[in-house]
Structure 1
């Protein structure tokens, strides 16, 4: 859920920066739509590809660690049993209870016990790169649609105002959501999120206006 909120936030800010920058250079709806769609597609595909690569690397690392554990359990079971008992003692169990628990866990599922206690991995719930990529694509696209629609649907005199206000409201919502999900101070998250978005739109609008005044675009 937190990743979805942050992905949507990225889509809002990046696409808003693009369309507001183009709006500073030209009021043409076609140019705004083209730039917004290009930003939406480029951003969503980039987010999905980056997430796929990142999570694939994590999954490969998890599989490699599990392979090492399987080999160690096969080749040196007594050492692994003692290691598991040590890990359980570090969690507060007495030596006797830790040894008994280690034997019981090893009889039940040695790999799962070591993966959980030593590696923090659930062998049956490894990270899924395709799911992560799809979630990033969808969340970024959902966020990016807001500034895109806000800049192309209203009449020309209202486009910039509607876009800025809707983007700031959406950033306030995603800032509140990310703060609540992360148990962080809400006020600070709102200020950081809304302020960052406002600065981004201000800078890109100024750049677009300068380019438009210079006859570029």
Structure 2
């Protein structure tokens, strides 16, 4: 029983990490769909020139994906630095005050429902096996061998945004001119329904509300940018 405690903690932490990555991927794809759709639909309101639409769409895709990757890299790098600092502090405390750390681990295990005697025995066994890993898992919720990787996060955001952005870009440049706008709008709304469903499922939220909110936001963004593009096109700007 004592050996199962860190295993469950690590398993729960790994599961939470996987869910966070999935949620980030869904949101990245959603951002790619909405931002690129708004851009190309806005340009379509001003002109039906295919090369202009392709240029605008590609520029939006590259700018958005690079921005997402850079932002994710900076954010996750900060998180990784915080994790490494917390582990370094824990290692120092284990070296300087081992008895206090053992008592702290005992208290943490007792707070999870173990009796004081069992919690003490478990804390002693975990400390003998790997004190830093035990405290990292139980106290900090960190796996020392599986720290967040900023490069993985950056590439994941880059790819997720790119995949999402490709849909409105292809939808606006491939069909004949008369079909470009309706095909793009319908494709984008379908994609937003899918990402809304996926984000709701990963977050255990209400599916219908998430889908409607996602589609409503995307529809509003396309309507606003198309109106702005139409106005600028009509005035010859």
TM-score norm. by structure 2 comes to 0.90
Q: Tell me the CA shift for residue 150 of structure 1.
A: 0.4
Q: Is 1:185 matched up with 2:206? A: yes
- Write the mapping of 1:79-158 to structure 2, written as runs, cut at 5 A: 79-158=100-179
**CA distance in 2: counterparts of 1:72 and 1:55, whole angstroms:** 26
Q: 2-side partners of 1:207 and 1:177: how far apart?
A: 31
What CA distance in whole angstroms lies between the structure 2 residues aligned with 1:118 and 1:190? 37
Q: Using the alignment, how far apart are the partners of 1:75 and 1:5 within structure 2?
A: 45
1:153-185 alpha-carbon deviations (Å, 9 max, x no partner): 011111101100100011111111111121111
Answer yes or no: is 1:43 the counterpart of 2:67: no
- Deviations, residues 72-103 of structure 1 (Å, cap 9, x unaligned): 00111111111110111111111111111110
What is the deviation of 1:3? 1.6
Question: What's the Cα RMSD here?
Answer: 0.6
1:18 and 2:39 correspond: yes
Alpha-carbon distance between aligned partners in 1 of 2:176 and 2:90, rounded to the nearest angstrom: 63
Task: Tell me how far 1:4 sits from its aligned partner.
Answer: 1.2
Once the two structures are TM-superposed, the CA of residue 6 in structure 1 deviates from its matched residue by 1.2
Aligned counterpart in structure 2 of residue 59 of structure 1, from 80, 92, 95:
80
Segments ≥4 residues shifted beyond 6 Å: none
Q: Deviations over 1:188-208 (max 9, x none)?
A: 001000000000000000000
Question: SS of the counterpart of 1:213?
Answer: helix
For normalisation by structure 1, the TM-score amounts to 0.98
1:40-78 CA deviation, whole Å, 9 max, x = no partner? 000000000000000000000000000000000011111
List alignment gaps of at least 5 residues for structure 2: 1-21
Corresponding residue for residue 207 of structure 1 = 228
> How many residues are matched?
216
